[in-house]
C-alpha cells in the first residue's frame, strides 16, 4: 500500500509540459521578458528549464534570482556555449513532462499560446510537431502586422488568435522559435544535430528528418507567439 501511494504522488508531481529556453547573455532584452510572459500563465501545469550557454556573471545572477522567485524554473548552467542544438538537447534531457516546447529566449507568449499547442498535439493520433503563428519568421508562420512596439504586436496577435476559429494547416517546415512535440518524438528523431555550428539550419534539418519519418508538421493559427528575431545572436558576427 505504501508503495502504491508513493508512485501515485510521483506521477501527480510530473508537470503537464516542459518548456526549454536557451539563455546567452542579454537577460534584460531576451530571457527576462520571455520568463515574465510565461509567469502570467496559470491555466497550464508546466516547468521551465533554462539552459544557459556560458553567459557572464550578470546574466547568471539574474537567472538565479528568477529561479528563486518561481519554483517552476530550473537552471542548467553550461560552462561553455553548446550552441542551439547542444543547449536544447541538454534541456530536453532534463525534461520531466511527456510534452516539450522549445522556446527561443527572444519570444513572448500570450496566456493561451502554449495550451493551444498542447491541445492540438493531443488531438493527433500519430507523431506530430506543432508551432504557432508569429510576427517574425522565414516561412508561412509569419502573418501580416502593422508596424508597432512589442505590446502593439502582441495585441494584434491576440486579435488574430481570437478570430482564427481553431484553424490549423500542415507544412513541411516549422521555425523553431517555438515548437511543441512529445519528448518521445524528439528523442526518436535523435534530437537536434549538434554537428551544425552554433546556430541556424538545425530546425530545417530536424523538420526534413521528421517529414521523412512520417511525422506531421502543423501550424496552429489560434496560437500566437511574439518573436523579436535572432536577438540572441545580434552581437555575433
What pLDDT, in 10s, does the model give residues 180-230? 999 999 999 999 999 986 556 899 999 999 999 999 999 999 999 999 975
What pLDDT, in 10s, does the model give residues 113-153? 999 999 999 999 899 999 999 999 989 999 998 988 999 99
- Is the model's pLDDT at 237 over the cut of 80? no
- Looking at residue 230, its pLDDT comes to 55
Own/partner long-range contacts of 87-93 (Cβ < 8 Å, ≥24 apart): 87/22, 87/51, 87/53, 88/20, 88/22, 88/51, 88/191, 88/192, 89/191, 89/192, 89/194, 90/51, 91/20, 91/21, 91/22, 91/49, 91/50, 91/51, 92/18, 92/20, 92/183, 92/186, 92/187, 92/191
Residue 69 near residue 34 (C-beta atoms within 8 A): no
What pLDDT, in 10s, does the model give residues 71-120? 999 999 999 999 999 999 999 999 999 999 999 999 999 999 999 999 99
- Looking at residue 4, its pLDDT comes to 43
Amino acid at each position: 500500500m505504501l508503495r502504491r501511494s508513493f508512485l501515485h504522488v510521483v506521477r501527480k508531481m510530473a508537470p503537464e509540459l516542459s518548456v526549454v529556453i536557451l539563455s546567452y547573455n542579454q537577460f534584460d532584452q531576451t530571457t527576462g521578458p520571455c520568463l515574465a510572459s510565461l509567469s502570467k500563465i496559470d491555466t497550464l501545469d508546466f516547468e521551465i528549464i533554462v539552459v544557459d550557454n556560458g553567459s557572464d556573471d550578470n546574466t547568471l545572477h539574474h537567472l538565479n534570482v528568477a529561479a528563486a522567485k518561481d519554483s517552476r524554473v530550473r537552471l542548467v548552467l553550461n560552462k561553455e556555449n553548446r550552441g542551439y542544438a547542444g543547449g536544447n538537447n541538454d534541456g530536453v534531457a532534463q525534461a520531466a513532462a511527456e510534452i516539450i516546447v522549445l522556446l527561443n529566449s527572444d519570444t513572448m507568449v500570450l496566456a493561451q499560446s502554449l495550451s493551444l499547442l498542447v491541445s492540438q498535439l493531443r488531438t493527433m493520433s500519430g507523431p506530430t510537431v506543432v508551432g504557432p503563428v508569429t510576427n517574425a519568421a522565414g516561412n508561412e508562420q509569419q502573418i501580416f502586422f502593422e508596424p508597432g512596439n512589442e505590446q502593439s504586436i502582441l495585441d494584434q496577435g491576440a486579435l488574430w488568435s481570437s478570430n482564427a476559429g481553431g484553424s490549423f494547416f500542415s507544412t513541411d517546415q516549422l521555425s523553431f522559435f517555438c515548437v511543441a512535440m512529445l519528448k518521445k518524438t524528439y528523442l526518436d528523431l535523435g534530437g537536434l544535430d549538434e554537428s551544425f555550428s552554433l546556430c541556424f539550419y538545425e530546425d530545417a534539418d530536424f523538420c526534413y528528418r521528421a517529414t521523412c519519418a512520417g511525422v506531421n508538421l502543423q501550424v496552429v493559427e489560434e496560437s500566437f507567439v511574439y518573436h523579436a528575431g535572432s536577438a540572441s545572436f545580434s552581437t555575433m558576427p
